[in-house]
Structure 1
């Protein structure tokens, strides 16, 4: 994408959410922010048995392509929270 970050704030949020939900099984991602800085909350049963660092690495791996390069739409993730869903 060769747009400026201000041109596609909504689609960057959508792209983050879609990348996470596509790569992490049974995940639900909530993304907010703009201007290259985002907050992400992810709930997934895939995090069960993993520590916080392992879970966060899964999320960063899913969005790495959006953070790569000088013109990347994502400059920073200011807040990243991962959790497993409540037991049914």
Structure 2
């Protein structure tokens, strides 16, 4: 399974987190079944780490109207969204 990191700027961190925490059903529809990790930093930046069961289905769902609506309601500045597929490993 690939891990995904999504980073974006949001309008308000408190509002974003409150909305983000309501999206368990949306994440399940995107083939996410493991815990979702996230963090925020000053400058209204948020990062989310997800592990989808089906990468292609997740990427398609990321562009869905339901995801766009959730991001808009949470105050995500859509033009700042960056998606990283963690497809490389460094063994230590």
Which range, TM-score by smaller chain?
A: 0.3 to 0.5
Per the normalisation by structure 2, the TM-score is 0.45
With CA pairs under 8 Å and 6+ residues apart, which has the higher RCO, 1 or 2? 2
